[in-house]
Structure 1
Amino acid sequence: MALTRPTILQIIPELDTGGAELSAVEIADAIVRAGGRALVLSEGGRLAPRITATGGEFVPFAAATKNPARILWNAHVIRQMIENEGVDLVHARSRAPAWSAMLAARRAGKPFVTTYHGAYNEKTRLKKAYNAIMAKGDTVIANSQYTKRLIEERYGTPSDRIRVIYRGVDGSKFDPAVISEERKAALRARWRAAPGTRIVLQPARLTAWKGQSTVIEAARLLKADNRLGNTLIVLAGDAQGRDSYRHRLESEIRAAGLEDNIILPGHVEDVAAALAVSHLAIVASVEPEAFGRVATEAQVMGCPVIATDIGAPPETVAAPPKFKAEEATGWLVPPGDASKLAAAMAEALSLTPDARAALAGRARNRVLQNFSLESMRLDTLDVYDRLLGTQLRASYK
């Protein structure tokens, strides 16, 4: 007999910020809208209230622990929860809790799904064994073709067990037409951006692999060449305890004489408005992005974007030489190459209004056609349906 109201349990360490965290919220909402019951186990964070706001159930849980003994105990607790709450499927979105979730799901005889969100570091055999849990789902969701290839190469996971589901962007939320002047003015005031100032935004947590140092050096090169002008570069993101890295960036900014051109304002909650006031967005990662949602969010907002040509951005940003100039939606540059980044920044900032509008239109249309939130939700519900024999996708409203 088919399940009429399946209960789906997602587990993720925290619900603070990031693509994996936001996906957990968005899929909880999709499950509820399809008539299912959505449980989310996590230590919590600023996104936790959104779980309950969608009709899902947030369950405080020590999901971030990496202690082996606690992971085994968590597996016992999750299995009890599966039985007590009638959980039909378990979906893990991060490595440490995935071990507990898999043990619990296997013991309870329930389907187990993983989403491989990141291009995890595998410098040792132990780390590779730890990461391998994310390839052990009955279905493994890869958030890009790049990620799918990574899973196949690293773990030999059969292609038919991997489902590529791109990270989705909400085109109704990320729409220049719905961003009020008040929202934009609030951000410009917070950043102390004078009227007429061009804003270049890099929304990324403060960690070395996100490439903030490359952005600082590119700005120095532009200033030395008298091409920076009245530009404010906003390195927006939490340090997340990496205070020494933040201090290092501040030192680099001072050494380059860019105190009036670069700020580190911390986390930006209203990313859509931040992109709406920005003349350019940058994804400067020096290690591969498994997806890189900033690239798609910027494009759907009509904000020109430069990304590094590693990982998934070559899938999401249409750039020469693969695409003709009249088809391009942004720029791709080599990772860590401040000179190439500076050149792309200069070109993007010098676009005429007509050229910028044409690029913005192409970019928004491409994202809505290929990387929409609705597609991500429907495809994920389809994964659940195939494992459970349910009709969640067809019931989604």
Structure 2
Amino acid sequence: MNILMALSQLEVTGAEVYGVTLADELINRGNKVMIVSDTLTKKCKAEYIKLEFNKRGLGNRINQVKTLLKIIRENDIQVVHAHSRASSWSSAIACKIAGIPLVTSTHGRQPVHLSRKVFKAFGDLTIPVCENIQTHLVNDLGVKPNKSVVLRNPIDTSLYSFEPKEDKKDKKIISIIGRLSGPKGDVAYS
């Protein structure tokens, strides 16, 4: 299968790690995967094409849709998987024109406003990363329950050592789980 992953971020994000992990596994299973994104900081087997989804003016959106259509047609893309609001908006239009399915992953709570309820851009199927996000999508944004399936972030735990280190016994370790860059949510404080 020929798959196009659409991401948008200016720094490494959980969505990027999720997308790259998924892309590498799909490639390992014999699929062809391409990634379009503002940036790509994680190593990946997929071909990367820069596409600035964070430029959100109407002219930029039209150009994004045109670029996506060109990539879809030139590479015989059979499905697009978008991992952000910005990329899913342009991908939804491109997929509709191209007549191919769109899958989205929803990595966090979404803003609730009229335009998001009218033009959902969640595709044929959305994959929230936890049950709380799935409930939010259904209750607050009107996503049909049968159009979403929870799939947690794919992490290969065999790559990490979870053994306590004796020399760190007296030192405090602070882990920040989440996003420190805005404007999506609250900033973490310690």
The correspondence for 1:198, drawn from 150, 162, 171, is 171
SS in 2 for 1:58: strand
After superposition, the Cα gap between the structure-2 partners of 1:31 and 1:196, relative to the gap in structure 1 and judged at 3 Å, is closer
SS at match of 2:8: coil
Q: Which runs of 4+ in 1 moved over 6 A?
A: none
Give the Cα–Cα distance (whole angstroms) in 2 for the partners of residues 154 and 44 of structure 1. 31
Aligned counterpart, 2:24 = 29
Q: Structure 1 residues 29 and 113, CA, compared in 2 at 3 Å: closer, same or farther? A: same
Q: Which amino acid aligns with 2:98?
A: A
Q: Is the 8 A contact 1:15 1:21 kept in 2?
A: no
Q: Percent same amino acid among aligned pairs?
A: 20
C-alpha contact (below 8 Å) 1:120/1:131 kept by paired residues? no
Which of residues 126, 138, 161 in structure 1 aligns to 2:147? 161
- SS where residue 198 of structure 1 aligns? coil
Match of 2:24, SS state, is: helix
In the TM superposition, 1:104-143 aligns within 5 A as 104-122=94-112, 124-126=113-115, 128-129=116-117, 132-133=120-121, 136-143=122-129
Q: Secondary structure at the match of 1:154?
A: helix
Q: In structure 2, how many angstroms separate the alpha carbons of the residues matched to 1:168 and 1:159?
A: 22
| Alignment correspondent of 1:41 | 36
- Which residue type is aligned with residue 172 of structure 1? S
Deviations 1:324-364 (A, max 9, x none): xxxxxxxxxxxxxxxxxxxxxxxxxxxxxxxxxxxxxxxxx
Cα distance in structure 2, aligned partners of 1:15 and 1:105: 24
Conserved in 2, the CA contact under 8 Å of 1:142 and 1:164? Answer: yes
Alignment of 1:138-153 (within 5 A): 138-153=124-139
Match of 2:91 among 86, 92, 101: 101
Q: TM-score, normalised by structure 1?
A: 0.43
On the 8 A contact 1:91/1:114 being kept in 2, the answer is yes
Which structure shows the bigger proportion of residues in helix conformation?
Answer: 1
Work out the CA distance in 2 between the residues paired with 1:209 and 1:95.
18
Q: Within the alignment, does 1:17 sit opposite 2:12 as a pair?
A: yes
Give distance in 1, aligned partners of 2:109 and 2:119.
Answer: 10
Distance across 2 between alignment mates of 1:157 and 1:129: 9
Residue 22 of structure 2 contacts residue 154 of structure 2 at CA under 8 Å; is this kept in 1? no
Conservation of the 8 A alpha-carbon contact between 1:9 and 1:89: yes
- DSSP-derived class of the 2:88 partner: helix
Gaps of 5+ in 2: none
Instruction: Please report how far the alpha carbon of residue 63 of structure 1 lies from its aligned counterpart in structure 2 after TM superposition.
Output: 2.2
Cα distance in 1 for partners of 2:139, 2:84 equals 20
Contact 2:3 2:32 in 1 (8 A): yes
Q: Return the letter of the residue paired with 1:11.
A: A
AA in 1 matched with 2:93: L
Question: In the aligned structure 1, how far is the partner of 2:10 from the partner of 2:27?
Answer: 18
The CA distance in 2 between the partners of 1:164 and 1:45, in whole Å, is 25
Query: 2:10, 2:126 → 1: CA distance?
Result: 21
Question: Given residue 104 of structure 2, which amino acid in structure 1 is its aligned partner?
Answer: T
Backbone CA RMSD of aligned residues: 2.5
Deviation at 1:46, TM superposition (A): 2.4
Structure 1 residue 68: Cα displacement: 1.8
Give the CA deviation at 1:199.
1.6
Measured in 2, the distance between the counterparts of 1:201 and 1:13 equals: 28
- Report which of the two structures shows the higher radius of gyration computed on alpha carbons: 1
Post-superposition offset of 1:210: 3.8
Matching residue's letter, 2:18:
S
TM-score, normalised to structure 2's length?
0.86
1:209 aligns to 2:173 (yes or no): no
Q: CA deviation at 1:196?
A: 5.5
Structure 1: distance between partners of 2:159 and 2:105: 24
2:158 alignment partner in structure 1: 172
Mapped contact 1:12–1:64 kept (Cα < 8 A)? no
1:45 CA drift (Å): 4.0
Distance in 2, matches of 1:85 and 1:211, equals 41
How many residues were matched structurally? 186
1:132 partner amino acid: K
Relative distance call for 1:15 and 1:8 in structure 2 (3 A) is: farther
3-state DSSP of counterpart to 1:200: coil
